[in-house]
Structure 1
Amino acid sequence: MNYWMLLVIIGLTFDGHRVCSLIVTEINVPGIVDFRDNVTLSCSYNMAGHTLNSVKWYKDENEFFRYSPMMHPYYMKFPVEGAEVQENKHNCNSSICRIELGALGKKSSGVYRCEVSGDAPHFKLTTKAANMTVAALPQNNPLISGFHPMYHFDEFVTANCSSDYSSPPAILSWYINGELALPAELQPRQENTFAAHDYLLKRQILQIHFYVNGPRFIHFRKMLELKCVADIIGFPHLRRESKSSAVLTHDQNLNNQMLLSTGERSASSATIFAVSILRLAMSIIFLQSAIFS
């Protein structure tokens, strides 16, 4: 093998390596978003010496956006239902392409794909895709109701937890002093539904009931803490929770004493009112006697 042939082989080897190195390094498409929000999609790529020809965005294999730095205009948008790029909300260059979608809805869910192509002489093509679900996510923490600020040991506790309306629906869980409630302490779940914005929105209601006794209450310094957690299955970062605390006491007559005290105060107020009325009546009688005498 002569010297020149060896140089040609080495040159082709390095050129082939350079051609194959054009890749999409990262695609950023959130797994789930709320239909009321705008969302930014981004695609990063390594040209590795190639000249960028175009970056194309597809939804379910339908092209809706293109960046072509070697053509005019640089940016082009194509009508695809559910994939609306906001006006002037795109920024692309030789290494990254970002776009912002708005006016989201149920039909915005799908597979989003970024396709990057190099220019002559190799016209290499690379692509990467990710799925995005557009949902009606909970906007508020779960609501705890029916829970009082004070209980005594061995008392029966009942409380309700209601999730915010959403689609998909939230799954509720109860915790008592940091421990997951037992299945026997839960009532069957209830569900309310109504349709809005092309979604069937659902609210979960879960009731808990238990006696205040056992080791999970002894180590909490006379405190009872309930926590209700609302999860969207498959998306732990969307967890929402609420807590509520009560004081525990061994005095089983405390509530009765409080009621008695309240009754005594009410009786005292009624007595004072009656005396005032009696004094007013006597003043009127005295005034009438003075006038007619």
Structure 2
Amino acid sequence: MDIEQLLLSFMLLITDFHRISCLFVTDINVPEIVDFRDNVTLSCSYDMSGHTLNSVKWYKDKMEFFRYSPMMHPVYMKFPVVGIQVQDGKYFCNESTCRVDLSLIGAKSTGTYKCEVSGDAPHFKLAAKADNMTVAALPQSDPLIESFNSMYRMEELLSATCSSDYSSLPTRLTWYINGEQASLGELQPSIDTSIPAHDYILRRQKLQVRFYLSGPRFYHAGKNLELKCVAEIENFPELKRETSLNAAITHYDNLNNQMLIHAGSGVSGAANVTPHHNTLQIISILFAICFLVNSALFSL
């Protein structure tokens, strides 16, 4: 055997070795955090690299709940596992991808989800990837701001309360006044409320802000005031919610000028009405005198 044949045989051997050793899961899609009221879709992609697909199996915490076996009957199989339920007809798998839709039960749906792909004979290669999913009771609405008016005067005391929506995860509230975070001295102690529901302990936080409308941040803002409350859940920035409200700020000088204008209008109106009123009185008296004179002459 010459050198060229040896090189060719070696290359074929390397290629065949690479082919039979390259079955792997290229991607897995498991939501990091979801609300227990939602349905979720799990999916994984894989590269068979010439292998024949034997099966794709989905696990929750090492418990198999779904299987795709293209060479078996039935092709799809579902297995009962605590915390999840595979939706009827909501799954699809082929030689490169496998997708399955789940209905969640609640806190018991939290766990590690794994996609395992196996090749057929003669090599029976196996590859897998896993990821974690947290199932929680997440806020369904933006924070609520109460006791906030549409107009304030300079030097006036402003007091407003922000309430988060109920959640099974701790919520942090932050106040912003004209874009600046409120200082600790402007905040009252937070009030936490908890209730049991849906196998969770749901928590709601209230945070009150109190401050006087004085200082450069209000004078420089002109006549506008923006109050914003932000609700955040630690480690999950995508769950941030916020509410902003605006109010007009009236300065004392403007208020006094408006009062003087209204007062002046009232005096002017009174001055205009008084002469007209006096004239009517005089005419009434003259008519009365004429009536009395005519009555006296008629009696004579």
TM-score bucket of the superposed structures, by smaller chain: 0.7 to 0.9
The CA deviation string for residues 44-65 of structure 1, in whole angstroms up to 9 with x for no partner, is 1111222111110000111111
Question: 1:188-267 alignment to 2 at 5 Å?
Answer: 188-251=189-252, 254=255
Q: What secondary structure, in the 3-state scheme, does the structure 2 residue paired with 1:217 have?
A: helix
Task: Please state how far the C-alpha of 1:186 moved relative to its aligned partner.
Answer: 1.0
Q: Does the aligned pair in 2 maintain the 1:152–1:252 contact within 8 Å? A: no
Question: Does the C-alpha gap of structure 1 residues 252 and 154 become closer, same or farther in structure 2, counting only changes over 3 Å?
Answer: farther
Q: Does the aligned pair in 2 maintain the 1:192–1:202 contact within 8 Å? A: yes
Q: Does the aligned pair in 2 maintain the 1:163–1:230 contact within 8 Å? A: yes
| RMSD after superposition | 1.9
State the distance in 2 between where 1:21 and 1:212 align: 68
Task: Please state how far the C-alpha of 1:216 moved relative to its aligned partner.
Answer: 2.3
Q: What secondary structure, in the 3-state scheme, does the structure 1 residue paired with 2:81 have?
A: coil
TM-score using structure 1 length: 0.83
Q: Does the aligned pair in 2 maintain the 1:169–1:201 contact within 8 Å? A: no
Q: What secondary structure, in the 3-state scheme, does the structure 1 residue paired with 2:11 have?
A: helix
Task: Please state how far the C-alpha of 1:66 moved relative to its aligned partner.
Answer: 0.5
Partner letter of residue 210 of structure 1? F
Q: Does the aligned pair in 2 maintain the 1:38–1:104 contact within 8 Å? A: no
Does 120-129 or 196-205 show the bigger shift?
A: 120-129
State the distance in 2 between where 1:233 and 1:217 align: 31
Q: What secondary structure, in the 3-state scheme, does the structure 1 residue paired with 2:128 have?
A: strand
Tell me what 2:274 maps to: none
User: How many residue pairs are counted as aligned between the two chains?
Assistant: 258
Task: Please state how far the C-alpha of 1:202 moved relative to its aligned partner.
Answer: 0.6
State the distance in 2 between where 1:86 and 1:120 align: 32
Tell me what 1:180 maps to: 181
State the distance in 2 between where 1:41 and 1:63 align: 14
Task: Please state how far the C-alpha of 1:89 moved relative to its aligned partner.
Answer: 0.7
Instruction: Please tell me whether Structure 1 or Structure 2 has the larger radius of gyration of its CA atoms.
Output: 2
Q: Does the aligned pair in 2 maintain the 1:137–1:167 contact within 8 Å? A: yes
Task: Please state how far the C-alpha of 1:241 moved relative to its aligned partner.
Answer: 0.8
Residue 123 of structure 2 is aligned to residue 130 of structure 1: no
The CA deviation string for residues 119-165 of structure 1, in whole angstroms up to 9 with x for no partner, is 12221111111100110001111100011111112221110000111
State the distance in 1 between where 2:235 and 2:213 align: 34
Tell me what 2:52 maps to: 51
TM-score using structure 2 length: 0.81
Unmatched 5+ stretches in structure 1: 262-293
State the distance in 2 between where 1:252 and 1:200 align: 52
Partner letter of residue 79 of structure 1? P
Residue 153 of structure 2 is aligned to residue 152 of structure 1: yes
Tell me what 2:109 maps to: 108
Residue 37 of structure 2 is aligned to residue 29 of structure 1: no
Task: Please state how far the C-alpha of 1:20 moved relative to its aligned partner.
Answer: 2.6
Q: What secondary structure, in the 3-state scheme, does the structure 1 residue paired with 2:108 have?
A: helix
State the distance in 1 between where 2:246 and 2:224 align: 7
State the distance in 1 between where 2:220 and 2:91 align: 56
Task: Please state how far the C-alpha of 1:189 moved relative to its aligned partner.
Answer: 1.0
Question: Does the C-alpha gap of structure 1 residues 248 and 24 become closer, same or farther in structure 2, counting only changes over 3 Å?
Answer: same
Task: Please state how far the C-alpha of 1:252 moved relative to its aligned partner.
Answer: 7.5
The CA deviation string for residues 146-192 of structure 1, in whole angstroms up to 9 with x for no partner, is 11111112221110000111111321111111111112211111111
Q: What secondary structure, in the 3-state scheme, does the structure 1 residue paired with 2:252 have?
A: coil
Q: Does the aligned pair in 2 maintain the 1:185–1:210 contact within 8 Å? A: yes
Partner letter of residue 124 of structure 1? K
Q: Does the aligned pair in 2 maintain the 1:37–1:104 contact within 8 Å? A: no
The CA deviation string for residues 69-113 of structure 1, in whole angstroms up to 9 with x for no partner, is 111111111111012111111011111111011043110000001
Task: Please state how far the C-alpha of 1:5 moved relative to its aligned partner.
Answer: 4.4
Partner letter of residue 115 of structure 1? E
Identical aligned residues as a percent: 63
Does 222-231 or 177-186 show the bigger shift?
A: 177-186
Tell me what 2:82 maps to: 81
Tell me what 2:170 maps to: 169
Tell me what 1:140 maps to: 141
State the distance in 2 between where 1:228 and 1:252 align: 31
Partner letter of residue 192 of structure 2? E
